[in-house]
A and B are shown apart, each in its own frame.
Chain A
């Protein structure tokens, strides 16, 4: 790196954003390791956005690792595959990270099984038609692994009258603590590039841009070396700033374009994929296998052995924590990153396709201190921090008055993607993001006005 590069500013989005302490050094240097198989695996039928999958197995049936155990229901849905060889113990309600108990397939794992993946069917993906690739991605049960868990195949096809010309590859990983995407970029570079080429073929896009935050120069270098001077795929470092990894922010940073209100990336001819998803596409599609495991960062002050682990999907969180040296002092367990992740109320919750990390705070950590909420002092720090150009202060006051309809109609509540920047910077400790999530939940429940 030359001396001049110290002064070069990397591209970023135009407004807002914060710089939380990253804590990535805990796990960034640790290679991905495989976690043992848990004695009990729980595969929820609704671990993606869209319709829940429909079980294909009966209670008592033996399943082999990689075997499809649930089929997709409709277009916006994906199938599930058995994460381990064993016997289906039950199909019952199980706690989820979202709260309500939901149906899940519970598998008793055979202890002495070799856990080989026997379900595979090798294909030359680059010879497939784009539609066949879309079907293959759906059959593999792939969803957005960055956390949103939106079925990947849906985004591969542009709706009537629209065309995807650019593929954006999201390697930002802007959440504190999380390093799983970082490790995937370093260790699974070939699979990632293969995945990008497959998606380019399926979408018909002409170019791919990989956006990586500049706090991961080794990942940028690794990919740039492997690419040499590829005419189609390009890697670009962008400023490390939260929430750089949000879809809308990434598009603005890399392409200087904003998605119109209520629009989707495809309106700009763009498709955004997480590096983890693409690496899985590159890995699973050629062998015709299903998504049965993913890389999860286990980190935080409460973890004895932080690291990046290859975890079978369906492993209960309690088992992961036990393996990683979390003692009884765990006070808060978050699935995902600390900014946007879900705190779980039960450790029986399994690792699902959308879980990118498990962050554990122990009792007495600084971040845990009880906080007193003061009145808003109109300092406008939240307005400066909001990457969506909203006015969180005003929205917060309307929320306190329960004027949820006006929040939506006059102050663009639905543009908020709950990144948490406003609540993070608020000197009065006002839980703004919580207010907005409540408001959105209530607005969703309200019957649509007929007027």
Chain B
């Protein structure tokens, strides 16, 4: 055989092999074809891709799948602006859906100017680390340690620490993703719809004077809020006022008026925090001394 014949055999063999494999691919493509709605990709492109989980799905792609299937409303995404969500709703031809904005709220008002510090913590600057060393140096064992693990973990820059070392949630930026809820070693964050205006900014479980030795803005379990408000709205459980948000429509400012410490507050729609008229005024600006 001449060398030309060798080349001819090789070319022929490779061509046949190519045709055979191409056939396999064509058949496989037909048999194993999975139809994926092209709208999923387009919807996903319109989502923020933060994968924050606030909507209740593991990320933006699964949320897009659910949107296209019509299982959820576009309004459920709290990270997107209303306009973008409207674009998604128009694209899919569905209603935007009514979803109330939810935000993270801190159940502590014991900044450095009102909460007593019994020991100064001098270790790694992290609430988690401080919590592991005897619960941190704060007099109140339930209170915010103020080292800003929540501000660090927040993907949306919605939490910053104020001058008294308490995290402040920016309700505009907050998407209710819940990262701060997970990271806080004292479990002080809760996700609430913005319509929940009545809020107990304390978790202390001690009674009366004993509680007041630890912090000036503290729930002393005096029961005034509970007595003043409609029955069942506020109950005192384990020396702490607990609001039953199923009865939220009964909530009014009357509950906060006689609170002696200002631990129960009314969160105004414009972001201000209203305390009752009997609440002790906090004039001090600087931090309390250690001890």
Contact = CB atoms under 8 A, between A and B. Distances in A.
A368 to B, nearest CB: 8
B132 A346 contact: no
B124 A99 contact: no
Interface in B115-140: 118-119, 121-124, 126, 128-129, 131-138
Contacts, number: 60
A277 B132 CA distance: 27
A342 B119 contact: no
Interface in A412-451: 431, 434, 437-438, 441-442, 445
Given A93-B205, A99-B141, A101-B141, A431 B135 contact: no
A342 B133 contact: yes
A99 B122 contact: no
Interface residues of B, number: 23
Contacts of A373: 124
B137 A345 contact: yes
B134 A370 contact: no
The dominant DSSP class at the B interface is loop
A100 B135 CA distance: 6
A98 B182 CA distance: 20
Contacts of A254: none
A101 B153 CA distance: 27
A27 to B, nearest CB: 24
B216 interface: no
Contact of B129 (A93, A95, A345, A431): A431
Interface string B137-169: 110010000000000010000000000000000
Given A93-B206, A99-B141, A441-B185, A343 B134 contact: yes
Contacts of B132: 99, 434, 437-438, 441
Interface residues of A, number: 23
Contacts of B128: 438, 441-442
A431 B123 contact: yes
Contacts of B182: 445
B44 to A, nearest CB: 23
The dominant DSSP class at the A interface is mixed
A125 interface: no
Interface string A81-101: 000000000000101011111
A405 interface: no
B133 A346 contact: no
Contacts of A346: 118-119, 134
A345 B119 contact: yes
B129 A438 contact: yes
Interface in A369-383: 370, 373
Contact of A344 (B131, B134, B205, B206): B134
Nearest to A343: B133
A346 B137 CA distance: 8
B136 A345 contact: yes
Interface of B: 118-119, 121-124, 126, 128-129, 131-138, 141, 153, 182, 185, 205-206
Interface of A: 93, 95, 97-101, 342-346, 349, 370, 373, 402, 431, 434, 437-438, 441-442, 445
19 contacts: A99-B132, A99-B135, A99-B141, A100-B141, A101-B205, A101-B206, A342-B133, A343-B133, A344-B134, A345-B118, A345-B134, A345-B136, A345-B137, A431-B129, A437-B129, A441-B128, A441-B131, A441-B132, A445-B182
